[in-house]
Amino acid sequence: MKFKHLVVALALVAAIASPAFAQETRSFTAANGTFDIPVAPQRIVALNDQIVALPLYELGAPVVGSAGRIDADGNFFMRGGMDTLGIDYANTDIEYVGGFNELDVEAIAALQPDLIIGGTYTDAAVIEQLQTIAPTLVIDNGALGLIETLKALADVSGKTGDFETRYARYLDNVARTKAYIGDTSAISATMTFMFPAGEELWVYRTGLGAISQLLSDLGFAQPAAVAALSENQASWSAELIQDLDADFIFGFYRQQPDATPEAVFAAYETFAPGWCQALTACQNGQVVLLPGPTFGSTMTGLELALDLVETHVAGRSFTPFAE
């Protein structure tokens, strides 16, 4: 954010500082402090599309602006918006307010929000500037995890009841799937993330949104090398590809336009030639590519991940991997 933009934005804020109507407020403690926020906010700006705007929108919260992305043709879009919820800037009243790391304070001020929500990835100096517009909350999704983050977003937007109803249904469906599968703790699964170029393979112990939350909720085990990771994820060495072997290995396609299933499978071979013969999961057809929305941070992503994992694992025979 350039300094002159901040000055102009603050001048604009001063011009529109008076709220349209008095609102009942309450206290809420976020990662950046305790603030008085509206009991029922009417105009929320999200400083991240996938992590904040989408879960708020699916709860029915009044999102008037969101940070987003720009594609190769210069068009604004919300990552995962069309795939997960069928929404984007073009078919909603949500306004683009810059990238999550290049926010347009003027655009945010012009929307007259009564609540602004970002994360630890948001520039702290910009957060302080935004406090002059409306209470600006930092939700630490990394520390909270997916479910507690969704609960926090439901809480601050006044949609807790809506979330709890949907979350209870999800947990019931997880219990149903576990009944179909049996002893899930005896089944191991690895989560991998491969880009089409095949230059780098990421492996996740946790923190891969809906899919990692689901596999944890189902109670699946992990290979020892993955379970021992000190961080949520790691860039993996091709020489250690065998350490990822498990009953099932999950990967993803559709995370970019060129990430077709064929391209992602080919990328594994580019990254580690002969990888399929090195992994019993691959030799037995137990490498499963899921569509990108299954790692979105929404209830819709969780439900999609559950349906797909149930389809691929429950009620089928598979060759167990002996670690």
170, 196 contact by CB (below 8 A) = no
Lowest mean pLDDT among 11-15, 32-36, 97-101, 111-115: 11-15
Give the residue ranges of DSSP H helices in 2-135.
3-15, 54-58, 105-110, 124-130
Q: Which of 151, 101, 110 is nearest to 134 (CA)?
A: 110
Q: 7 pLDDT exceeds 60?
A: no
Per residue, what are the HEC states of 166-209? HHHHHHHHHHHHHHHHCCHHHCEEEEEEECCCCCCEEEECCCCH
Coil, strand or helix at 106: helix
* φ/ψ of residue 235, rounded to 5: -80, 125
Count other C-beta atoms under 10 Å from residue 227's C-beta: 11
Coil, strand or helix at 115: strand
21 confidence band (pLDDT: 50, 70, 90)? low
Q: How far is CA 111 from CA 4, 144, 302, in A?
A: 19, 29, 31
Q: 18 pLDDT exceeds 60?
A: no
For position 17, what pLDDT does the model report? 44
For position 10, what pLDDT does the model report? 52
Q: Rounded to whole angstroms, how far apart are CA atoms 78 and 49? A: 5
Q: Rounded to whole angstroms, how far apart are CA atoms 159 and 61? A: 7
* φ/ψ of residue 25, rounded to 5: -120, 165
Q: In whole angstroms, what separates CA 290 from the centre of its chain? A: 15
For position 107, what pLDDT does the model report? 97
Q: Rounded to whole angstroms, how far apart are CA atoms 289 and 274? A: 18
pTM of the prediction?
A: 0.88
Q: What is the pLDDT of residues 144-180, one digit of tens each?
A: 999 999 999 999 999 999 999 999 999 999 999 999 9
More confident residue, 254 or 94: 94
Q: What is the pLDDT of residues 101-121, one digit of tens each?
A: 899 999 999 999 999 999 999
More confident residue, 14 or 316: 316
Q: Residue 192: CB partners within 8 Å, gap ≥ 6? A: 201, 202, 203, 204, 236, 244, 249, 250, 251
- Mean pLDDT score of the chain, rounded to an integer? 92
For position 4, what pLDDT does the model report? 47
Q: Which of 77, 31, 76, 75 is nearest to 54 (CA)?
A: 77
Q: 15 pLDDT exceeds 60?
A: no
